[in-house]
Amino acid sequence: MRIVFAGTPEFAAQAMRAIDEAGHQIVLVLTQPDRRAGRGMHLQASPVKAFAQEKDIPVLQPETLKQNHTDLQKKIAAQEAFQYLSDIEFDVMVVVAYGLILPQAILDLASQSGRHGCLNIHASVLPRWRGAAPIQRAIERGDPATGVCIMQMDAGLDTGDTILVGELKITSQETSASLHDHLAAIGAKLIVKTLNDLDKGIAISRTPQAIEGVTYAEKILKSEAEIDWHLSAIEIDRRIRAFNPFPGSTSSLDGEHLKFWNSCLPSKEQIHQDAIPGRVLGFSGDGVYVQCGDGVIEILEMQKPGGKKIGASACLQSYRTQEKIMQFKKE
């Protein structure tokens, strides 16, 4: 099949690679403009663009797809992208974590006679966690399971009919980074199956989403990173794992802003009834026990400013003296 692919991060690139390996032809890629990243803040191509360049696939990077945008340059770029789409032959459009809203005109273009519309890979079991951050919000909320949906896109926010669903349990050790990788693999497999079926003329069923159980996964903000030690150990543990790799949970110790990358709930809590939330209670090999508003959390991996991610116990060695009480604080 001839495919227009719209996506930006590694989650999308994995699906793109699987589609290419399955023998389908990607005739055009839409991805977000290059962003500055790294210590040198150099412009970097998205993972989707990098793969497209490797395969010599044409790439368009408009900042918006709104042809009536008030900014003249953005408006012209959007119109040129639409014209390019109008002029090429394709069978279906696949959209994965693109980051831009598809206007109705593009949805209509992809749904013309002989085409199969826009298919989306969404990292949740819809209608739960529509929106921008389904992986992180599922962990933060303590969901026992999540999954991936192949969805027929419509004008709403992740409201289209579902075609295929793959489910996955969320373990107590799962971070957003690890769950991302598991779900990306499932999504890649499901989109290839969907495209193969369409290519063979096999009828695919489309199931309207349930009206009940709708939740929205709001975009993750950096302001959510600061740990509130008055929350329960369960809530803090979920947030630390949910915000790995972005934005990374943070707290201050002796005026330094530290990052917290991994944690767990200890099997045998060291409970100090009079301990202040945020106080380090003791060490557990590579980890450290910290008092929360309700219960104790074991911090496993941390990072000093400018340093590397290391075991929490080793990270706190320079702060550690026999008499000193270590107290994390929210700034």
Coil, helix or strand at residue 180: helix
Q: Among 74, 132, 122, 66, which Cα is nearest to 99's?
A: 132
CATH of 2-217, one of 3.40.50.620, 1.10.10.60, 3.40.50.170, 3.40.980.10: 3.40.50.170
Binding residues: 124-127
User: Is residue 231 a contact partner of residue 308, using CB atoms and an 8 Å limit?
Assistant: no
What integer pLDDT is reported at residue 181 of this predicted model?
97
Closest Cα to residue 289, out of 300, 277, 302, 280? 280
What is the C-alpha to C-alpha distance for residues 200 and 186, in angstroms, rounded to an integer? 21
Beta-carbon neighbour count of residue 224 at 10 Å?
16
The CATH H-level (homologous superfamily) assignment of domain 224-319 is Formyl transferase, C-terminal domain (3.10.25.10)
Percent of the chain with pLDDT over 90: 87
Q: How many residues does the chain have?
A: 331
**What is the token pair recorded at 298?**
């074991």
CA-based end-to-end distance of the chain = 54
Q: Which amino acid is at 190?
A: L
Identical topology for domains 2-217 and 224-319 = no
Instruction: Tell me the average pLDDT of the chain.
Output: 94
Burial of 274 (0-12, 13-18, 19+ CB in 10 A): exposed
Residue with tokens 């994965």: 96
Share of the chain above pLDDT 70, in %: 96
- Rounded to whole angstroms, the Cα distance separating 297 from 195 reads 45
Binning pLDDT at 50, 70 and 90, where does residue 324 land?
confident
Is the model's pLDDT at 117 over the cut of 80?
Answer: yes
Residue 322 pLDDT? 56
Output the known binding site for (6S)-5,6,7,8-tetrahydrofolate. 124-127
Residues 171-176: what's their mean pLDDT? 96
The domain spans of the chain are: 2-217, 224-319
Give the number of other CB atoms < 10 A from CB of residue 70.
7
